[in-house]
Every structure is written in structure tokens, then in C-alpha cells.
Structure 1
Amino acid sequence: MSAKPFSSVWTRERKGPRDQGLSRDQIVRAAMELLDADGLDALSMRKLGAHLGAGATSLYWHVANKDELLELVMDEVYAKVVIPEDADWYNAATAFAYGMRGAVSQHPWSVTLIGVLPSLGPNALTAAERLMGAFSSAGFDGVDVDYAVAAVVSYTLGATVPEVSYLNAVAQAGTDVVGMQALMGPIIEEIGAGYPSLMARYDASAITMTDPLTARRFAFDFGLAALLDGLAARIPGNRTKDRRITREAEVHGDT
């Protein structure tokens, strides 16, 4: 089977409005309005045209298909990930992590597009370049730059995507996080009866943190701080921990 040819909206020349028609920015804004209101499954070129009061010709003048439209709206999500141009590695990584978490949380439909559509738009590439540049300036070298960036991106999305997916499921169930917690509590107690250590931790967490969303924010803060502390230990000139890990690997025959 031959591979499907890859195409991207970013490889095509941007066109202006056709015959006093809609601009690309108008189309993207309207698409995001529909997505934020009704989710990804509700978006179609027909519905978008009706929302804008325009025919299909005005839409297809700017995008060849729905996938190209989604590339554009996803880059608008990345527009919320603002990394200052002169930020050091720690502040750049922090800005990316909180910016990406906030953007995905604000636009929960984007969860199912991350990793599916290529991030080739100017906002996504600007964020990537600034994050990579900050790590390079800190002293990370060669492939270590890629690994450091990947660690920050992977942690951010790994912690955020399941949370947003859960919130999507809660919304679809017609309740909120507190209501879902109340519904799940008795089930967890019943099923977890044979796991006393887990249940003791669950009960303690329920007592000390009554707001589930706040607990998730604290958990994100803790994980990000731990990750950045680990990256700081790997900056050239501060590699004692790295050398110890290497020696331990040699002792155990892992290298």
C-alpha cells in the first residue's frame, strides 16, 4: 500500500479574501468558537459556513479541507504558549509548561489533535525554537538539547492531557468534578477494600485536599519542579549526579 501524500496548509501561499469574502483569520476565529462551544466532532465545513453565513467557496479559497483548517486552529492554541525571547532555560521551560497546560485546558478539544496533526505553524515553531534556544544557551549540547526539550514537552502533555480528557468526560456526564467524585467515592471504597495502603492514601488525600482541581494543580507544580531540578543537575558543570548514575550503570552491566 502506498503512503498517502503529506500536505500542509503551511506549505501553501496564504491568500487574501476572494471577492470581498472572508479572510482566513475570520474563518479560524469562527472555527475556534464552534470548537470551544461544541467540541471537535461538531465541526464541519458545512456548519462553519453556516456559522459565518458564507458558502463553501469562501472557505475552500483558504483551506483545502478540514485537516488544513484544524492545522490553523491548533496553531492558535500554540499562540497562548508565550515564551519571552530572552528567557533563561528555567523560565522558558516554566513558561512553556504553564502556557501549554493553560491553552489545552482552555480548548479541551485540542487534546485529540496533539500528536495527530503536525505542529508546523509559526506559533508552534516559535515556542519550540525559543525553548530549544534557552536550553542551548544554558550549556546543554547536541542531542541533550533535544532530550531536555522532549522532557519538558512530554511531562507537560503527559500530566495535562489525561486531566483534560477526564474533565471532558465529566462534562459529558452532565456533572462536575465534585459531583463525579461523590459518585465514584463509594465504588472506589468497595473495589479498593483489598488494597489498604492505597485506600489509606486515598482517604488522607480526600481529607487534606477537598478541591480536586486544586489538588491537580499542586500535583502539576510538584512534578514540574522535580523535572526542572533534575534538568538543572544535568547542566554541564553540575554533573555529579549524572556521573554517579553512569558509574552505577557500569557496575550493573547496563553500559
Structure 2
Amino acid sequence: MPRDTLTRDQIVRTAVELLDAEGLEGLNMRALGKRLDSAATAMYWHVKNKDNLVLLATDQVWSELNLPDPDVDWRTAVTAMAVDLYEMFTRHPWLVQAFAAHVVYGDGKARHDDHTLAVYEAAGFNGTQADLAASAVFTYVLGNAAGAAATASLTRKLTRDDTTADEQFQEAMARAKEIAMDYPHLRARLETPAAADYAAAPDNSFEFGLQALLDGLEQRIAA
């Protein structure tokens, strides 16, 4: 694709596709140019560098988030936004990596953050309290999404490598389970059918933790 027919929007959308497929470590101008049928140097006419491209891609996907009606009950709104945020992180697991390596900002994120503060302020949190409440929920969501991001990264590695990597993973999990059997609470958990895998968690663990967190925030409002 000739340089003069490329647009920044095309580059950013393609970068998101590449990031979804290859992760943050797979993003480079050569791979991006190949997907766009363009020279790698043509990218620099539209984006400054890789870091700038990551920020643009991050803000692009942040715009996918829905903003609930401000008149909705605050717990309903916060739950919907947290679930939506978690689903975005799991759709684009490289975002977790981006938070560890970049200062993430942009119009899409600002739009979401502004609405988040409005929801907490409407609930009764004022000033710093609204910031703390929003930060607590965001950190909870990001922490839960880290597991999904790690799984996606490992899956890419196993896809690229031969069966040796898969065998090593299975051996490591078997060894972790073997060690855990020496500890009574872990042993009791692993002996239940629902938790046969050492790294497994109940299906509703995200929802349970989120509602427990909101219970605590609601008590603070009441106090």
C-alpha cells in the first residue's frame, strides 16, 4: 500500500489486530507494514514510534467501552462498567502489558475515567473518596485480567514452539499440585472435583470479589 494512501486510522486498527494476535512483543513496524502491504518506513509518516503507536492502539480499544446512563443505580453502573472493562482486557490481553510498560492516556480513556468519577460522585463519594473508590475497582479488574493476559501469552508461546514447551508446562503444573498436596487446605481444595487443576478458580470468582468490594464501598457511603 503506497505511503500516501495510508491513514493513521488504518495503521492503528491494524496495530490492534497485530497486538491481539501477537501481543506487545510482536508489534514492530516491519510486521505492521507487512499486514498493510506497505514499507515499514511509511508508518513513521503517521506515527512517531512504537510507543506512540501503542498509546494510539490503547486509546482505540478504550473507546469500545460502554458508559451506563448516569441515572442508573450506582452499583448497577459500577458493576456494568467493571464487567465491560474486564471483557475489554480479556479481548485485548496486551493491554495488561501496556499498563506495565507505558503511561496510558488519551481521549478514550479520559472519557471513561470522567464518567467513572461521575458515577461515584453521584453515589455519595466526594473528591479523594471518589478517586480511591474508582482506583480500588479498577485495580481489582486489572489484577483479575492479568491471569487472562498471562494465559494468552503462554498460549502464543506454545503455538510457536514445539510440543516440548507444552510438556514442560504440564510437568510444572503436576509438580505444583504434588507440592500442594503436602498442605492441608490446598489438598482439600484439590481433592474437590471443581478444582482438579492447581491454578483453577471458581467460575464466579470475579463476580464474587467485585460484589464483595462494592459491599465495602457501600458501607463507607453509609458511614
Q: For the superposition of Structure 1 and Structure 2, which TM-score range results when normalised by the shorter chain? A: 0.7 to 0.9
User: Is the Cα contact below 8 Å between 2:16 and 2:57 reproduced in 1?
Assistant: yes
Q: 2:219 aligned with 1:219, yes or no?
A: no
In structure 1, the residue corresponding to 2:48 is in which secondary structure?
coil
Q: TM-score, normalised by structure 1?
A: 0.74
User: Is the Cα contact below 8 Å between 1:111 and 1:165 reproduced in 2?
Assistant: no
Letter in 1 for 2:194: T
What residue number does 2:189 align with?
Answer: 201
What residue number does 1:9 align with?
Answer: none
- Structure 1 residue 202 displacement after superposition: 2.2
- Structure 1 residue 170 displacement after superposition: 4.4
CA distance in 2 between counterparts of 1:181 and 1:63 reads: 38
Alignment map for 1:75-154 (pairs within 5 Å): 75-86=59-70, 87-154=72-139
Q: Which moved more, 1:216-225 or 1:179-188?
A: 179-188
- Structure 1 residue 150 displacement after superposition: 0.5
Q: Count residues in correspondence.
A: 215
CA distance in 2 between counterparts of 1:185 and 1:212 reads: 7
Query: Between Structure 1 and Structure 2, whose CA radius of gyration is higher?
Result: 1
Q: 2:51 aligned with 1:51, yes or no?
A: no
- Runs of 4+ residues over 4 Å off in structure 1: 179-185, 209-216
- Structure 1 residue 35 displacement after superposition: 1.6
| 1:57-82 residue CA offsets vs partner (Å, 9 max, x unmatched) | 54222211111000011112212322
| Larger relative contact order (Cα-Cα within 8 Å, sequence gap ≥ 6) | 2
Structure 2 gap ranges (5+)? none
Q: TM-score, normalised by structure 2?
A: 0.83
CA distance in 2 between counterparts of 1:115 and 1:186 reads: 30
User: Is the Cα contact below 8 Å between 1:170 and 1:180 reproduced in 2?
Assistant: no
CA distance in 2 between counterparts of 1:48 and 1:181 reads: 31
- Structure 1 residue 34 displacement after superposition: 1.6
- Tell me which of 138, 143, 152 is aligned to 1:158: 143
- Structure 1 residue 224 displacement after superposition: 0.4
What residue number does 1:246 align with?
Answer: none
Letter in 2 for 1:129: D
What residue number does 1:242 align with?
Answer: none
In structure 2, the residue corresponding to 1:228 is in which secondary structure?
helix
Q: Which moved more, 1:179-188 or 1:149-158?
A: 179-188
- Percent sequence identity is 37
CA distance in 2 between counterparts of 1:190 and 1:57 reads: 52
What residue number does 1:249 align with?
Answer: none
In structure 2, the residue corresponding to 1:208 is in which secondary structure?
helix
